[in-house]
């Protein structure tokens, strides 16, 4: 998650003379990564990437704490000021108190709930300073009341929400889990049908007024007539928030913070600061008691770790004082027993979820000390053996091969739409469907790459020739558990059936495997007249059996029309995992024959439509001196064969070749071919 922080705002919590550029450099070396510094007006804004486990840094004050701990390691003075956890002020209410009835059905849903009613609120634009800071942080300024909520969230990393107190019917709030099918209209005017198990708040009439942790309800929104505001700050069960946000595809900054387990101890500092902002920006005054429901207060946990343990893992000697200062600057309470050289470290509440074992303490010391200051030693001992990954090896080889065969590699999404599946005559119900798709186009996990390739071809019909391939995973559903993930290699070409078949044979040659093509008429997406299943087996394994590895065929004309493609396309789909398993890296060496071959061409009439695979198989088995048989031309019902005769022991005579030729022609005529001309 990235956040934007103006330098002027950072200085509210950080006392230092360091420039923004120096702060960015030091922070990136030892903490969060500053991706860039933007200039906005007279201010400079840090664009900072925060790792998921460091929700405490997703705020101005959190970053300031880190920077104050890091800069002294570079010889730069820095002090963390206005620590929100040290706010001592109390929320004082007026004499004429108002009340809110709070009911929490399940304490596990809301670890801490706080609220206070603010009276005499004047809704108006925020002061220029607040506006500029929010807009520099990419947050739209709306009015002073809403801006206070956003200001608190970016300043402290604690989301806040404001209700119009007078719109809460019965002045009652019941926090519970939603029922399946319940509906709520949120502040962005979107109506959501809830899946159930979501954290919601209903008012005294039973109407939902808050989709907790994500967005408030439109029915209690602040408007220009609002006079009394309920300032509402709390923490939620992160699992519930994450599930709801993803299922509804409704991602807000508040949801992204709540799902990362915000510190409940931050709630009171946030509401105190919120009251101050209402007093200064909106003229408001507390009109109720401070409601604070906190059934399980945080108890600091202690981690014991020796100095020797830290030094051994960092590979360098450290002084105990330096370690103590580094940890204390981050908010840890540290005691050091000199006699045992052991630290007892109390973890602050805002780090309780990511620091729990001695190794976590080592990591904190390492990054503040500076990874760049740790010794760099080359590893000793024998080099580790390179892992032999057959799949990766052949993936690289085939991608290079297809590139030189004039094919273009594509990368398409693993998710496909219902329309795309139907256009390719696939059944959507036979695919795994996402429960919370982000768009209508990305709904089903694909079982075939070909629909996506056809979609690419549709967008590139301006090209005369199309040669595409993709090597990626498909996902086949199982009755239980995760799907089968299988690597597929798919090709799409305008080169015609025979040329594409030749490319497939070239792939087999690269893999050192044998192929066999068998006609097949039951693949609905491919033409029944020009479709074959592909079987394969490894060279040199006498007892190996043929295994189905893929299909080749012309895309059926009705399918092409659905994709608005007028060109004829040949589609090939391989189970790449099977191909890689059958492939052999090392080929058997055969010396070049000393004696020249005799090559001749024979043309046959093929009125019986004998399969090419049967013709080639019969011809090659006719005699041991027939070393090669290839189909070199096909026209209507005629085909021409190129026959290669060769001996390793001598030059062949015309008489020897003539005898073999007669046997060859006789065998082929038994299949249904007829030789054109005379022998």
Question: What CATH number does the domain containing 397 carry?
Answer: 3.30.930.10
Non-local (6+) Cβ contacts of 178 within 8 A are: 194, 196, 197, 198, 199, 200, 208
- What is residue 18's three-state secondary structure? coil
- What is residue 117's three-state secondary structure? strand
Q: Is the pLDDT of residue 382 over 90?
A: no
pLDDT value of residue 94:
59
Instruction: Classify residue 450 as exposed, middle or buried by CB count within 10 Å of its CB (0-12, 13-18, 19+).
Output: buried
Residue 635, Cβ neighbours under 10 Å: how many? Answer: 8
- Tokens 């491919």 appear where? 526
One domain for residues 288 and 307: no
- Under DSSP, the state recorded for 495 is S
* C-alpha separations of 374 from 33, 363, 650 in Å: 19, 12, 73
Task: Please report which confidence band the pLDDT of residue 93 belongs to, taking 50, 70 and 90 as the band edges.
Answer: low
Minimal CA–CA distance to 218: which of 251, 182, 185?
Answer: 185
In a domain, 57, yes or no: yes
Average pLDDT over the chain, rounded to an integer: 92
In a domain, 151, yes or no: yes
Task: Please report which confidence band the pLDDT of residue 167 belongs to, taking 50, 70 and 90 as the band edges.
Answer: very high
Q: Is the pLDDT of residue 259 over 90?
A: yes
Q: Is the pLDDT of residue 199 over 80?
A: yes
The DSSP secondary structure of 553-592, one letter per residue, reads EEEPHHHHHHTT--S--EEEEEEHHHHHHH--SSPPP-PP
Residue bearing the bigger pLDDT, 258 or 341: 258
Q: Which two tokens stand for residue 637?
A: 């019902």
One domain for residues 629 and 522: no
pLDDT value of residue 592:
86
One domain for residues 461 and 605: no
- Taking only the tens place, the pLDDT of each residue in 520-574 is 888 889 998 889 999 998 876 667 788 999 999 999 999 999 999 999 999 999 9
pLDDT value of residue 339:
81
Residues of the chain with pLDDT > 90, as a percent, come to 81
- Tokens 């997406």 appear where? 525
One domain for residues 402 and 473: yes
- Taking only the tens place, the pLDDT of each residue in 419-475 is 999 999 999 999 999 988 888 888 999 999 999 999 999 999 888 899 999 999 999
Task: Find the DSSP H helices in 588-630.
Answer: 612-621
Q: Is the pLDDT of residue 480 over 90?
A: no
Q: Is the pLDDT of residue 405 over 90?
A: yes
Q: What is the pLDDT averaged over residues 93-114?
A: 87
Read off the CATH number of the domain in which 630 is found.
3.30.70.380
Phi and psi at residue 531, to the nearest 5°: -140, 140
Q: What is the pLDDT averaged over residues 618-644?
A: 92
One domain for residues 142 and 264: yes
Pick from 153-157, 171-175, 313-317: least confident: 313-317
Phi and psi at residue 289, to the nearest 5°: -70, 165
Looking at the DSSP assignment, which residues form a beta bridge with residue 537? 514
Q: Which two tokens stand for residue 206?
A: 């039973």
Phi and psi at residue 495, to the nearest 5°: -75, -5
pLDDT value of residue 252:
94
In a domain, 91, yes or no: no
Helices (H) and strands (E) in the chain, counts: 19, 33
How many Å apart are CA 455 and CA 569, to the nearest integer?
13
* C-alpha separations of 260 from 155, 199, 387 in Å: 17, 16, 37
pLDDT value of residue 96:
59
- What is residue 625's three-state secondary structure? coil
One domain for residues 288 and 310: no
One domain for residues 320 and 288: no
How many Å apart are CA 633 and CA 603, to the nearest integer?
9
Domain containing 327 equals 302-373
pLDDT value of residue 372:
85
pLDDT value of residue 376:
83
Instruction: Classify residue 263 as exposed, middle or buried by CB count within 10 Å of its CB (0-12, 13-18, 19+).
Output: buried
One domain for residues 109 and 216: yes
- Tokens 């040329």 appear where? 499
In a domain, 191, yes or no: yes
The DSSP secondary structure of 331-363, one letter per residue, reads T-EEEEETTTTEEEEEPPGGGTTT--SHHHHHH
How many Å apart are CA 629 and CA 673, to the nearest integer?
15
pLDDT value of residue 388:
67
In a domain, 122, yes or no: yes
pLDDT value of residue 15:
96
On whether the CB atoms of residues 261 and 350 are closer than 8 A, the answer is no
On whether the CB atoms of residues 331 and 351 are closer than 8 A, the answer is yes
Q: What is the pLDDT averaged over residues 620-636?
A: 91
- What is residue 79's three-state secondary structure? strand
Read off the CATH number of the domain in which 343 is found.
3.30.56.10
In a domain, 46, yes or no: yes
Task: Please report which confidence band the pLDDT of residue 348 belongs to, taking 50, 70 and 90 as the band edges.
Answer: very high
Q: Is the pLDDT of residue 95 over 70?
A: no
- Taking only the tens place, the pLDDT of each residue in 44-88 is 999 999 999 999 999 999 999 999 999 999 999 999 999 999 877
Domain boundary among the residues 293, 315, 348 is at 293
How many Å apart are CA 210 and CA 201, to the nearest integer?
5
One domain for residues 110 and 259: yes
In a domain, 587, yes or no: no
Q: Which two tokens stand for residue 314?
A: 């960092």
pLDDT value of residue 437:
85
Domain boundary among the residues 47, 82, 117 is at 82
Looking at the DSSP assignment, which residues form a beta bridge with residue 475? 485
* Total number of domains constituting the chain: 5
Q: Is the pLDDT of residue 238 over 90?
A: yes
One domain for residues 457 and 547: yes
In a domain, 466, yes or no: yes
pLDDT value of residue 387:
65
pLDDT value of residue 585:
84
The b/e string for 397-430 (b: 16+ C-beta within 10 A; e otherwise) is bbeebbeebebeebebeebbbeebbebbebeeee
Residues of the chain with pLDDT > 70, as a percent, come to 98
- Under DSSP, the state recorded for 92 is P
One domain for residues 343 and 253: no
Looking at the DSSP assignment, which residues form a beta bridge with residue 526? 555
Q: Is the pLDDT of residue 275 over 70?
A: yes
Minimal CA–CA distance to 260: which of 244, 236, 234, 294?
Answer: 236
Minimal CA–CA distance to 45: which of 21, 81, 71?
Answer: 21
Task: Provide long-range contacts, Cβ within 8 A and 24+ apart, for 33-39.
Answer: 35/2, 38/4
Residue bearing the bigger pLDDT, 302 or 439: 302
Q: Which two tokens stand for residue 280?
A: 């200064």
Q: Is the pLDDT of residue 206 over 90?
A: yes
- Tokens 């550029």 appear where? 21
One domain for residues 106 and 77: no
On whether the CB atoms of residues 50 and 253 are closer than 8 A, the answer is no
pLDDT value of residue 246:
92
How many Å apart are CA 288 and CA 101, to the nearest integer?
12
pLDDT value of residue 345:
96
């Amino acid at each position: 998650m990235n956040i934007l922080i103006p330098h002027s705002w950072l200085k509210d919590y950080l006392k230092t003379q360091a420039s923004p550029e120096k702060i960015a450099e030091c922070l990136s070396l030892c903490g969060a990564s500053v991706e860039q510094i933007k200039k906005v007006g007279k201010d400079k804004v840090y664009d900072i990437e925060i790792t998921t486990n460091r929700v405490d840094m997703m705020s101005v004050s959190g970053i300031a704490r880190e920077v104050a701990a890091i800069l002294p390691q570079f010889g730069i003075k820095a002090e963390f000021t206005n620590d929100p956890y040290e706010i001592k002020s109390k929320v004082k209410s007026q004499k004429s108190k108002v009340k809110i009835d709070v009911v929490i059905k399940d304490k596990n849903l809301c670890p801490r709930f706080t609220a206070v009613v603010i009276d005499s609120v004047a809704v108006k634009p925020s002061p220029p300073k607040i506006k500029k800071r929010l807009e520099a942080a990419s947050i739209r300024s709306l009015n002073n009341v809403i801006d206070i909520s956003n200001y608190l969230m970016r300043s402290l990393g604690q989301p806040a929400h404001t209700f119009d107190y007078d719109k809460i019917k019965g002045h009652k709030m019941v926090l519970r889990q939603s029922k399946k099918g319940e509906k709520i209209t949120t502040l962005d005017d979107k109506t959501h049908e809830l899946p159930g198990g979501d954290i919601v708040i209903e008012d005294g009439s039973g109407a939902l007024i808050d989709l907790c942790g994500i967005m408030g309800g439109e029915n209690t929104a602040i408007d220009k007539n609002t006079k009394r505001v309920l300032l509402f700050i709390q923490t939620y069960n992160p699992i519930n928030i994450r599930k709801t946000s993803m299922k509804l595809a409704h991602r807000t900054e508040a949801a992204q913070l709540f799902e990362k387990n915000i510190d409940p101890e931050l709630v009171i500092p946030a509401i105190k600061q919120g009251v101050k902002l209402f007093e200064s920006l909106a003229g408001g005054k507390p009109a109720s008691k401070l409601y604070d429901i906190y059934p399980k207060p945080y108890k600091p946990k202690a981690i014991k770790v020796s100095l020797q343990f830290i030094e051994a893992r960092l590979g360098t000697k450290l002084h105990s004082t330096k370690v103590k200062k580094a940890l204390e600057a981050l908010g840890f309470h540290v005691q050091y027993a000199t006699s045992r050289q052991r630290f007892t470290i109390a973890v602050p509440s805002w780090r309780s979820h990511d620091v729990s074992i001695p190794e976590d303490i080592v990591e904190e010391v390492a990054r503040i000390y500076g990874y760049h200051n740790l010794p760099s030693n080359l590893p000793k001992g024998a080099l580790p053996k390179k892992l032999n990954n057959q799949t990766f090896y052949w993936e690289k080889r085939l991608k290079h091969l297809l590139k030189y065969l004039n094919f273009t590699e594509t990368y398409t999404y693993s998710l496909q739409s219902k329309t795309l599946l139907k256009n390719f005559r696939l059944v959507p119900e036979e695919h795994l469907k996402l429960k919370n798709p982000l768009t209508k186009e990305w709904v089903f996990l694909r079982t075939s790459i070909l629909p996506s390739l056809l979609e690419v071809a549709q967008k590139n019909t301006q090209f005369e020739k199309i040669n595409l391939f993709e090597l990626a995973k498909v996902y086949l559903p199982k009755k239980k558990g995760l799907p089968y993930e299988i690597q597929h290699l798919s090709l799409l070409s305008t080169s015609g059936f025979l040329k594409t078949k030749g490319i497939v044979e070239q792939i087999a040659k690269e893999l050192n495997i044998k192929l066999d093509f068998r006609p097949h008429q039951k693949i609905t997406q491919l033409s029944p007249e020009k479709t074959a299943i592909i079987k394969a087996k490894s060279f040199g394994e006498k007892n190996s059996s043929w295994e189905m590895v893929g299909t080749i065929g012309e895309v059926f004309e009705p399918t092409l029309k659905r994709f608005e493609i007028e060109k004829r396309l040949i589609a090939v789909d391989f189970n790449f995992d099977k191909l890689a398993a059958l492939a052999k890296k090392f080929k058997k060496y055969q010396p070049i024959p000393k004696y020249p071959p005799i090559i001749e061409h024979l043309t046959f009439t093929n009125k019986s439509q004998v399969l090419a695979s049967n013709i080639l198989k019969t011809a090659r088995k006719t005699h041991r001196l027939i070393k090669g048989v290839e189909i070199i031309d096909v026209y209507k019902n005629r085909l021409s064969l190129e026959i290669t005769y060769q001996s390793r022991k001598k030059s062949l005579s015309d008489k020897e070749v003539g005898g073999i030729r007669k046997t060859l022609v006789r065998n082929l005529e038994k299949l249904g071919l007829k030789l054109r001309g005379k022998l």
